[in-house]
């Protein structure tokens, strides 16, 4: 079972240097689905972060930016063992998603 805001190693071989991790953003209401909506965490070298859109999170000793403009559906079977959970950053994550979908922060 994946939890909302779990962080997983990026299962894609392409782009893993730029996007080493994915954050699940899907609510547990949809746990029966075979995919999870995820947002990549991106290394600063590959992104010009915008403060509200791209909050910075620490994951396994690295500072990585949340990039909600690259939301992707990932098969659950590819998400192995979570390495972290970003629940404590819920409001920054929801704020960034709100900015993408509604054009403002909650």
Task: Quote the pLDDT of residue 87.
Answer: 97
Kindly tell me if the per-residue pLDDT of 23 is higher than 60: yes
How many CA atoms within 13 Å lie on the side-chain side of 78? 17
Q: For tokens 């730029």, name the residue.
A: 18
Kindly tell me if the per-residue pLDDT of 54 is higher than 90: yes
CA-derived radius of gyration, the chain: 13
Task: Quote the pLDDT of residue 62.
Answer: 94
Kindly tell me if the per-residue pLDDT of 11 is higher than 90: yes
Eight-class DSSP state of 97: H
Query: What is the domain partition of the chain in residue ranges?
Result: 6-102
pTM: 0.92
CATH number of this structure's domain 6-102:
2.30.30.110
The answer to whether the CB of 56 falls within 8 A of the CB of 27 is: no
Kindly tell me if the per-residue pLDDT of 36 is higher than 70: yes
């Amino acid at each position: 079972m994946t939890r909302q805001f779990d962080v997983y190693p990026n299962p894609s071989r392409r782009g893993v240097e730029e996007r080493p991790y994915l954050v699940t953003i899907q609510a547990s209401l949809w746990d029966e689905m075979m995919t999870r909506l995820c947002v990549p965490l991106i290394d600063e070298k590959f992104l010009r972060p915008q403060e509200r859109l791209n909050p910075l999170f620490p994951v396994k000793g690295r500072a990585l930016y949340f990039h909600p403009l690259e939301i992707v559906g990932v098969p659950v079977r590819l998400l192995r063992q979570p390495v972290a959970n970003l629940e404590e950053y819920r409001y920054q994550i929801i704020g960034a998603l709100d900015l993408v979908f509604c054009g403002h922060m909650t």
